[in-house]
Amino acid sequence: MKNTPIPYDIVKQKIAESGLPKVGRATIREIVRLVNEIEAATGLKYIRMEMGVPGMEPNSVGIEAEIQALRSGVASKYPMIDGVPALKKEISRFVKNFINIEVDEKNCIPTVGSMQGGMASFLLTNRCFKEKDTVLFIDPGFPVQKQQLKVLGMKYETFDVYNYRGDKLKAKLESYLNKGNISTILYSNPNNPSWICFSENELQIIGDLSNKYDVVIIEDLAYFAMDFRKDLSKPGQAPYQQSVANYTKNWIMLISSSKAFSYAGQRIGCMVVSNELYKRRFPDLKRFFSSDEFGYAMLYGAVYSLSSGTCHSAQYGLAAMLKAANDGTFDFVESLKEYGAKAKIMKQLFVDNGFQIVYNMDEDKPLADGFYFTISYPGFSGEDLIDELVYYGISAISLVITGSEKTEGLRACVSQVQRSQFGDLEARLKQFHTDNPIK
Amino acid sequence: MKNTPIPYDIVKQKIAESGLPKVGRATIREIVRLVNEIEAATGLKYIRMEMGVPGMEPNSVGIEAEIQALRSGVASKYPMIDGVPALKKEISRFVKNFINIEVDEKNCIPTVGSMQGGMASFLLTNRCFKEKDTVLFIDPGFPVQKQQLKVLGMKYETFDVYNYRGDKLKAKLESYLNKGNISTILYSNPNNPSWICFSENELQIIGDLSNKYDVVIIEDLAYFAMDFRKDLSKPGQAPYQQSVANYTKNWIMLISSSKAFSYAGQRIGCMVVSNELYKRRFPDLKRFFSSDEFGYAMLYGAVYSLSSGTCHSAQYGLAAMLKAANDGTFDFVESLKEYGAKAKIMKQLFVDNGFQIVYNMDEDKPLADGFYFTISYPGFSGEDLIDELVYYGISAISLVITGSEKTEGLRACVSQVQRSQFGDLEARLKQFHTDNPIK
């Protein structure tokens, strides 16, 4: 029996009880459950890096606005399908202030999280042309978006962008686009799980190809303004959150409130459709919707059918936070910088103990420190590494489930790890390194 | 130019401006918009019966529980996909107390309104068997459920139950079921728009056929406990809300909070899956989900993909109202009775002025007075009747869009009409009757 930071026999027993054939192959939620049980049985605290949840409290302006809306009686009244005017206005201002893109208030639609925003988007973008029935993911990415397509009975293709950064991206994308079946390209930026951020050159390539092949770009901005190498916090002032919207008119943005505003619990996000795409007509949409106008079909077809709109009070909560950010009275980026600060320290601790950062460059620039980073250890597959680290009180997920080809890699999320745990993290990594000397 | 209660020329002008070819063929939301504009232009108030929205405020116990949850920090935390334990527990108790059906807490799942509950249900029930790919609606019904299937690219069939009440229902249903393509039967009870309530005999027929043909019944209980002919308000005491669950194990209930708890704004409903269906395995589900277990695929396939669960604070709000109803400290039916009381008076005003009630019997019993009733006027089609009534300050929708064969009929909703308007209603109906003498 090995002498590990978390008692070996208890971990072994809990793994056996879980019924998991291999911890390294478990889903995020299965790992969460297993670690919960080991923590309860041992009284010891893990360095928990498996789940991408916000690690801070939201600004009180959102909570207070929700409470005021509830007291004013919104709970009994159906919200308008397209969102309350106050929120639509602030989303439009937010897109202008922080991305420097103009979009009509009409085209700013609250959704039940970006999860619903993605679902609604697929229902439209993948059906605008009969022959274009496939979504292309620039991976690695969020596994549930692929699950959404499977649930809808829709097709997708995917590639790992690791070997296709910079100018190489163009030929790689065209190898898919020139087949004629791709309707949509989706990526997240900053990227979950690798934390790569596309360069302006890469975004221009994507935008140009969107125009050339008439393909909709869904830009998943779940980690809005979290490329901390630049100061993206000033409304109406450069630099701005990067976006493909500077290079094409054919886009949908999904702006989540979960991480940028720590509002994951209320399930509210923003789907923003470009002015041009919103009013464009696609006769093939009539197969599934009463209207062939993209925006009308999106609202009264997809969004209405999915849930009749978004929680009324939550709309007022988000509107208040966006307004404060737009007015410059609330610097929503400031508190998020703690994620980057923790990542910098944690990455160093891993590197000092023999680990490597898997995705480590944006073309010629070192990767930003942010919500996630990726790690590997010589001689271990990603699955085996998770299997082993669990005895050392460290939990993460395998990159394989994110569409990455880096089978040796793990995704580590910083949000749930407290600075007070850094001592534990260092000691555990040291022991791991000692127990597993690199040959 | 006619002398009508609402100035003829203004109504005519607003109709022209609306661009609607025929008011009687407009959607609910188009009528809402038109009437809003006429009211604004004339300063006159309509008898608004076009939209099924709650007409009262929710019990404060829900609002206060939401506020407390927000203050305690739920906004930043992802809700569990399957719902917070406190809510799951109260849903299960509620089903036992008010329907007298046992169901595990595990199988009680909050959804973003019954709209999402329906969408999630279709994603499962219509895919359990490859050959069963069609939903059968016992109509008339809620048009958006058919739209949901169109958006999903799924098939449905439908018939108007008007001529198939009682024992005749069996042969009619079997004429569909014995074709082998029906996966699911859906109806609402009490019924939107006709307010018919199935008899125990009819529910038994549906339940027996569900067993014989292995078909899932989706019971849409949007108007829970609103058959005011019986006192359904006492937890744990007969009589109970009627349900097909007394006759089959093959059911899903959709229990909306919008009308029963006047909580439409917060978009929260309950999807309840029978213990037997929840754990049943359907290999054909693997085409769309990672698991072939109905309940697992429902949660981690459909519900997760649609929105990652339901607004966190709203779950606590609904839990508190259900708990109060279960504990007997809040009689949620009492305040709803006002709908029935208004319906009784309004129906009489219509009948006194030459109108007829279209759906008027439950087998041998007079129909209940509730949230909706249906009307027609001799010599008018439903569309023409709406066209004409709009000049008399009365708005409603055509039954045709609900799958009814009664093309002469309108649906009238009582919730937005105030008792103080009954004088106006009577005067307007009298004038309409005088202006349109029955031949």
User: How confident is the model over B20-48, as pLDDT tens digits?
Assistant: 888 988 888 889 989 999 999 999 999 99
Q: pLDDT (tens digit, 9 = 90+) per residue, A284-332?
A: 999 999 999 999 999 999 999 999 999 999 999 999 999 999 999 999 9
Using alpha carbons, select from A274, A263, A272 the residue that is nearest to residue A315: A263
Interface mutation vs chain B, best among A267, A288, A401, most B CBs within 10 Å: A267
Interface mutation vs chain B, best among A59, A66, A78, most B CBs within 10 Å: A78
Using alpha carbons, select from B345, B369, B366, B347 the residue that is nearest to residue B356: B347
pLDDT recorded at residue B2 = 79
Reported confidence tier of residue B287, pLDDT bands at 50, 70, 90: very high
In whole angstroms, what is the distance from residue A390 CA to residue A35 CA? 8
Q: pLDDT (tens digit, 9 = 90+) per residue, A402-415?
A: 999 999 999 999 99
Min Cα–Cα distance to chain A from B308, Å? 7
| Contact (CB, 8 A) for B110 and B83 | yes
ipTM: 0.95
Of A116, A266, A302, the CB nearest to B312: A266
Q: pLDDT (tens digit, 9 = 90+) per residue, B206-252?
A: 999 999 999 999 999 999 999 999 999 999 999 999 999 999 999 99
- Secondary structure of chain B in HEC code, one letter for each residue: CCCCCCCHHHHHHHHHHHCCCCHHHCCHHHHHHHHHHHHHHHCCCCEECCCCCCCCCCCHHHHHHHHHHHHCCHHHCCCCCCCCHHHHHHHHHHHHHHHCCCCCHHHEEEECHHHHHHHHHHHHHCCCECCECEEEEEECCCHHHHHHHHHHCCEEEEEEHHHCCCCHHHHHHHHHHCCCCEEEEEEECCCCCCCCCCCHHHHHHHHHHHHHHCCEEEEEECCCCCCCCCCCCCCCCCCCCCCHHHCCCCEEEEEECCCCCCCHHHCCEEEEECHHHHHCECHHHHHCCCCCEHHHHHHHHHHHHHHCCCCHHHHHHHHHHHHHHHHCCCCHHHHHHHHHHHHHHHHHHHHHCCCEECCCEECCEECCCCCEEEEECCCCCHHHHHHHHHHHCEECEEHHHHCCCCCCCEEEECCCCCHHHHHHHHHHHHHHHHHCCCC
Which one-letter DSSP state was computed for residue A265?
Answer: G
In whole angstroms, what is the distance from residue B66 CA to residue B73 CA? 11
In whole angstroms, what is the distance from residue A10 CA to residue A16 CA? 10
pLDDT recorded at residue B21 = 85
Average pLDDT over residues B89-100: 98
Helix (H) or strand (E) holding A435: helix A422-435
Using alpha carbons, select from A335, A321, A265 the residue that is nearest to residue A65: A321
Min Cα–Cα distance to chain B from A384, Å? 23
Residues of B in contact with A115 (CB under 8 A): 304-308
Burial annotation B267-277 (CB, 10 A radius, 16+ → b, else e): bbbbbbbbeeb
Of A79, A300, A306, the CB nearest to B119: A306
Q: Do A119 and B305 touch (CB under 8 A)?
A: yes
In whole angstroms, what is the distance from residue A303 CA to residue A305 CA? 6
In whole angstroms, what is the distance from residue B195 CA to residue B372 CA? 6
Of A151, A289, A317, the CB nearest to B123: A151
Residues 6+ apart with CB under 8 A from B428: B5, B47, B392, B393, B394
* Percent with pLDDT over 90 in chain B: 94
Nearest CA in chain B to A77: B265
Average pLDDT over residues A183-201: 97
Interface mutation vs chain B, best among A266, A289, A304, most B CBs within 10 Å: A266
In whole angstroms, what is the distance from residue B204 CA to residue A237 CA? 67
Reported confidence tier of residue A1, pLDDT bands at 50, 70, 90: low
With 70 as the cut, is the pLDDT of residue B139 above it? yes
Which one-letter DSSP state was computed for residue A45?
Answer: P
Min Cα–Cα distance to chain A from B306, Å? 5
Length of chain B: 439
C-alpha A258, offset from chain centre: 9
How far CA A236 is from CA of A96, A248, A327, in Å, comes to 7, 21, 10
Using alpha carbons, select from B270, B202, B211 the residue that is nearest to residue B242: B202
Average pLDDT over residues B412-438: 97
In whole angstroms, what is the distance from residue B379 CA to residue B352 CA? 17
Using alpha carbons, select from A411, A403, A407 the residue that is nearest to residue A139: A403
Average pLDDT over residues B257-264: 97
**Average of per-residue pLDDT values in chain A:** 96
Reported confidence tier of residue A26, pLDDT bands at 50, 70, 90: confident
pTM of the prediction? Answer: 0.96
With 70 as the cut, is the pLDDT of residue B381 above it? yes
With 80 as the cut, is the pLDDT of residue B105 above it? yes
Nearest CA in chain B to A154: B288
| Cβ neighbours, 10 Å, residue B32 | 17
Using alpha carbons, select from A298, A399, A419, A387 the residue that is nearest to residue A358: A399
pLDDT recorded at residue B55 = 85
Tell me the residue type at B414: V
Phi, psi (deg, nearest 5) at residue A84: -75, 140
Nearest CA in chain A to B58: A76
Of B79, B263, B290, the CB nearest to A76: B263
Nearest CA in chain A to B151: A288
Q: Do A288 and B153 touch (CB under 8 A)?
A: yes
Min Cα–Cα distance to chain A from B237, Å? 28
How far CA A283 is from CA of A305, B1, B133, in Å, comes to 20, 42, 26
pLDDT recorded at residue B304 = 96
Task: Return the bridge partners of A374, or none.
Answer: A411
* B182-188 β-sheet, strand order: B108-111, B269-273, B251-256, B216-221, B182-188, B134-139, B155-160
The number of C-beta contacts closer than 8 angstroms across A and B is 182
Q: Hey, what are B335's tokens? A: 């305040």
Using alpha carbons, select from B297, B305, B293, B263 the residue that is nearest to residue B87: B263
Of A75, A77, A79, the CB nearest to B62: A75
- Residue B171, CA atoms < 13 Å, CB-side half-sphere: 6
Min Cα–Cα distance to chain A from B378, Å? 32
In whole angstroms, what is the distance from residue B405 CA to residue B159 CA? 8
Reported confidence tier of residue B332, pLDDT bands at 50, 70, 90: very high
Reported confidence tier of residue A384, pLDDT bands at 50, 70, 90: very high
With 80 as the cut, is the pLDDT of residue B1 above it? no
Which one-letter DSSP state was computed for residue A204?
Answer: H
Tell me the residue type at B315: Q
Residues of A in contact with B307 (CB under 8 A): 112-113, 115-116, 119, 267, 306-307
Tell me the residue type at A292: D
Average pLDDT over residues B121-129: 98
In whole angstroms, what is the distance from residue B345 CA to residue B369 CA? 9
**Average of per-residue pLDDT values in chain B:** 96
